[in-house]
Structure formats: structure tokens, C-alpha cells
Amino acid sequence: MRSPLPPLGDLEHELLTLLWTHGAMTAVGVRRKLQRDLKDPTIRTVLRRLEEKGYVTHQVERGTFIYTAKESQERAAARVVKGIVDKFCGGSLERLLLGLVEASVIQPKQLDALVGRVTRSLKAR
């Protein structure tokens, strides 16, 4: 897994989520899907910032920038969790999981079900 990417601001996360949800889009397409009323230059600036931070890439088609998320939402989430595990749990996933159970974030039954799903997924490979 690559090194951690810089953190996202709220608007950056919102635009990245739109790219994860809808796939490749132009800045105009992003603006149309956005729940906020923002100007095109603002959208383009945020998309450029996302690209500078390493979350987004673009292609140019007939003079128009088409933006795409560099990795899936799940992979990005895994990268963030790995950073948390490294920073707060000394790299121990076991310590993280025990902490989640102790803090009642996840119930032991949920953890058992997850272990079952992971096991079945690994066997299916």
C-alpha cells in the first residue's frame, strides 16, 4: 500500500465522492451533481487540488478535462485506516479491532460474521 495521501477538506471529499459514485466526469458534470450552488471555477480549482494531492487524475478529450478518481473508495478507506493503525496502534490491526470491540463500535457477532465473509472470499479466489 502506498504512503498516506494528504487529508481532504469537506468540499474535496464531496467532489471525490461524486467521482466514486458516478465515475469519470467533467467539471460541469460534477457541478450539476453537486448539492451546493458553486461556480465552475471553484469546482475546477477543487478538482485540480484533488489531483495535486493524488486522489484524482484527468484526461483531455477534445479540449475538455475528464476527471477520474485514482483508486476506489474502498481502497482509499483502507489507506486511511492503515494510517490510523500505524499511528495509534503501532501497526497492529489486532489492537485496532480489540479497541473497536471494547468501545462498542463493533459487536463481537459482527466481527465473527466479518471473519466468515473474509474466509469465504479468500476461498473463492
Question: Mean pLDDT lowest for which of 48-52, 60-64, 117-121?
Answer: 117-121
Query: What is the gyration radius of the CA atoms in the chain, in angstroms?
Result: 18
Cell readout for 28 is 460541469
Mean pLDDT of the residues in the chain? 93
Domain 1-91 fold:
Arc Repressor Mutant, subunit A (1.10.10)
Q: What percent of the chain has pLDDT over 90?
A: 77
- What is the residue extent of each domain of the chain? 1-91, 92-125
Return the higher-pLDDT residue of 15 and 84.
Answer: 15
Provide the H-helix boundaries in 23-107: 27-33, 40-53, 73-89, 93-102
pLDDT above 80 (res 8): yes
pLDDT above 60 (res 64): yes
Q: What is the mean pLDDT of residues 89-101?
A: 92
pLDDT above 80 (res 3): no
Q: Are 53 and 103 in contact (CB under 8 A)?
A: no
Phi, psi dihedral angles at 89 (to 5 degrees): -125, 20
- Quick one: pLDDT at residue 1? 55
The DSSP bridge pattern shows strands 56-61 and 64-69 to be antiparallel
pLDDT above 60 (res 75): yes
What letter does residue 59 receive in the DSSP assignment? E
Q: Are 5 and 53 in contact (CB under 8 A)?
A: yes
Q: Residue 67, exposed/middle/buried by CB under 10 A (0-12, 13-18, 19+)?
A: buried
Q: What is the mean pLDDT of residues 87-99?
A: 93
